[in-house]
């Protein structure tokens, strides 16, 4: 499969010495990570290792105990409500379970963040933006449906479309392919690559699906025991003898 456009050199996300605990449960223990402008970075790690926590910290849904997160040049934990909201508009967040608004149709799910954040849009402009986002995820005809009538894969795509509608510079995908069949996974992977090229976004893709990581990301980072001991290209990370990383690899490619 073809790899996408070459990334620049500017870091858009810098995580330094980040720690987060819930009571006695230490999830992140001084993690360091960098995402470069234009790249897709896959974050791998087993269930419960703190992958979702990591990106929730990035958008300020959780507060870090220690360490710093700089996104697009701004230190997240020092931002006031207004500045944080402004930053959040530049970041797309695709939830692990899609988190579509149940009480709204697909169309309203997409138009809601737009009309709430951009004042004085005409109905035509909103329609156009929604149509474009739906078309980008290949579900142009689903606007009228309710989220409960969609399949899991379609829900994921609508979730991604909802993040695209605000034209974010960074997208955080939380397990975009989990629970999907291989064919749909491939489609989602292609979608992620297409989004990267079309909108020139930088992304973090959280996954435990190595095929997804291999096909979408320029670099992968392995979250092990609260830190990222190994970050690099797919080949670099998986030519290691670290038993934890080997286990991960072996399961995915049935060696």
Judged by beta carbon, residue 54 or residue 160, the one nearer ligand ATP is 54
**DSSP result, 95-113:** -TT----TTS-HHHHHHHH
Candidates 31, 44, 100, 161; binder of another protein (CB under 8 A) is 100
Judged by beta carbon, residue 74 or residue 117, the one nearer another protein is 117
122 CB burial (10 A radius; 0-12, 13-18, 19+): exposed
223 CB burial (10 A radius; 0-12, 13-18, 19+): buried
| Min dist. Cβ of residue 119 to Mg ion (A) | 34
Q: Which stretch binds ligand ATP (CB under 6 A): 29-37, 48-56, 117-125, 135-143?
A: 48-56
Candidates 22, 63, 151, 246; binder of ligand ATP (CB under 6 A) is 22
50 contributes a contact to ligand ATP by CB under 6 A: yes
CB of 42 closer than 8 Å to CB of 203: no
Q: Which tokens go with 153?
A: 């894969």
Candidates 95, 173, 234, 238; binder of another protein (CB under 8 A) is 95
36 contributes a contact to another protein by CB under 8 A: no
Binding residue count for Mg ion, defined by CB under 5 A: 2
Tell me the torsion sign for CA atoms 82, 88, 89, 95.
Answer: negative
Q: What's the CA gap between 151 and 154, in Å, rounded?
A: 5
Residue 75's contacts (CB-CB under 8 Å, 6 or more residues apart) are 68, 69
27 contributes a contact to ligand ATP by CB under 6 A: yes
Candidates 1, 5, 16, 61; binder of another protein (CB under 8 A) is 61
CB of 59 closer than 8 Å to CB of 172: yes
153 contributes a contact to another protein by CB under 8 A: no
CB of 30 closer than 8 Å to CB of 227: yes
| Min dist. Cβ of residue 117 to another protein (A) | 6
Binding residue count for another protein, defined by CB under 8 A: 34
| Min dist. Cβ of residue 246 to another protein (A) | 33
At 16, is the secondary structure helix, strand, or coil? Answer: strand
93 contributes a contact to another protein by CB under 8 A: yes
Candidates 68, 96, 115, 240; binder of ligand ATP (CB under 6 A) is 96
159 contributes a contact to ligand ATP by CB under 6 A: no
Residues that bind ligand ATP (CB under 6 A): 22, 25, 27, 45, 47-53, 96
């Amino acid at each position: 499969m073809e790899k996408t456009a070459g990334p620049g050199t500017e870091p858009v996300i810098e995580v330094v010495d980040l720690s987060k605990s819930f009571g006695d449960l230490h999830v992140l223990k001084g993690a360091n990570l960098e995402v470069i402008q234009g790249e897709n970075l896959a974050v791998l790690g087993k269930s419960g290792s703190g992958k979702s926590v990591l990106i929730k910290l990035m958008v300020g849904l959780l507060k870090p105990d220690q360490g710093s997160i700089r996104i697009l040049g701004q230190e997240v934990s020092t931002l006031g409500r207004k500045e944080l909201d402004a930053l959040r508009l530049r970041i797309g967040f695709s939830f692990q379970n899609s988190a579509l608004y149940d009480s709204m149709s697909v169309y309203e799910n997409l138009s809601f963040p737009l009309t709430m954040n951009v004042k004085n849009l005409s109905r035509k402009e909103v329609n156009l933006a929604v149509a474009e986002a739906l078309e980008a995820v290949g579900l142009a005809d689903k606007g009228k449906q309710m989220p409960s009538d969609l399949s899991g894969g379609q829900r994921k795509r609508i979730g991604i479309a909802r993040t695209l509608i605000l034209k974010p510079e960074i997208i955080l995908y939380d397990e975009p392919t989990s629970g999907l069949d291989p064919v749909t996974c491939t489609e989602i992977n292609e979608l992620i690559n297409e989004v990267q090229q079309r909108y020139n976004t930088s992304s973090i893709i959280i996954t435990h699906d190595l095929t997804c990581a291999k096909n979408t990301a320029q670099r992968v980072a392995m979250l092990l025991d609260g830190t990222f001991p190994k970050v690099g290209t797919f080949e670099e990370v998986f030519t290691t003898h670290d038993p934890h990383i080997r286990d991960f690899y072996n399961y995915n490619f049935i060696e």
